[in-house]
Amino acid sequence: MPESEALRSGHPTPAAEGYSMPPEWAPHQATWISWPHKRESWPGKFEPVEPVMVDAVSALARSETVRINVLDRKHEEHVQNLLSGKADAHRVVFHRFPTNDAWCRDHGAIFVTRPAEPDRLLALDFRFNAWGGKYPPFDLDDAIPARMAAALGVPGYSVDMVLEGGSIDVNGRGALLTTEQCLLHPNRNPALDRNAIEQNLRDSLGVRQIIWLGEGIVGDDTDGHIDDLTRFVSEDTVVTVIETDRKDENYIPLAENRERLNGIRLSDGRRLNVIELAMPRPLTFKGDRLPASYANFYIGNGVVLMPVFDDPADEPNRLKLASLFPGREVVAIDCSDLVLGLGTFHCLTQQVPVF
């Protein structure tokens, strides 16, 4: 497949060429991160962010390579100094790929694989418009997928649709989770209806079944990303966040999503096994609700990075995740300050599968 082909009518799609998106728990060759640098994303609280990132990279580097986008040589030296003595330097690779912001899950390449030679790994380059044009400029972020593909020496494939990695989750067996609030929002792909969006997902990611939930959590500026709501943890099991306080503004949308999950059967007829995670108490900044969610964990080769919020629900939820990932250490890291940027570990990472 030629590099940077556009997904268009009459041209072989990634799915037609045998590609599909592996689940996050499949083996990684690396995790990719864009190191935080935009202070406006964490107004008045940028200083606590980098120590949290150091803890995350240190945990990940115990079992896989961590690739980090930095602005330039000076920024690289700064991050190297932060990581010195805390993360395995042999497992940290820097790329001087400047970004507008840190959310690599959304602006990075989405990787698909196939068993056949050649080109067993393909970097999908969806369009990125900063969550519906909310945070210009975003030209540097939109250029990152092609730069990632070039750095790895793998072909890229341009998909003519706006899509962020945090808006989808797959089980590796043909099912994809997403939300109507995000993918059907007119600020992404106003010319595409639900059927066209579903077809593009099938063609590019090699999925067969699209599972639609409704709205996301309050405070989520991404218009309802699935990675704050419901995540696959195995082929037939998801975890989903719930709110038990009927007065909380998240109660109704999360209850409605939970009800939808009750009726889901996978394409092979299996019922979806649903594990509930309690939401933390509301976190706010200057009166605005922050999107604090335990669903925003990231599954590494040997660890699961779990955001916690100095909340009574932290440990019960950690134990639930630990029971679902017996071969991995669930590393709980306080994200009370990190979430001020309106995302945590899943938003900040993108996996590169082994191929």
Q: What are the residues facing 234 on neighbouring strands?
A: 237
Catalytic one of 104, 182, 335, 347: 347
Q: What is the dihedral of CA 323, 325, 326, 327, to 10 degrees?
A: -170
- CB 215, CB 224: distance < 8 Å: yes
Give buried/exposed letters for 36-61 (b at 16+ CB in 10 A, else e).
Answer: bbeeebbeeebeebbebbbbbbbbbb
CA dihedral sign of residues 183, 187, 193, 199:
negative
**Is-catalytic flag, 335?**
no
Q: What's the CA gap between 132 and 201, in Å, rounded?
A: 19
Question: In whole angstroms, what separates CA 335 from the centre of its chain?
Answer: 16
Q: Which amino acid is at 131?
A: W
- CB 91, CB 65: distance < 8 Å: yes
Q: What's the CA gap between 148 and 238, in Å, rounded?
A: 30
Largest CA distance in the chain: 55
Q: What's the CA gap between 108 and 149, in Å, rounded?
A: 10
Tokens of 238: 């998801």
Which residue reads 């999950």 in tokens?
A: 261
Tokens of 270: 């299996």
Q: What's the CA gap between 201 and 187, in Å, rounded?
A: 18
Residue positions annotated with a catalytic role: 347
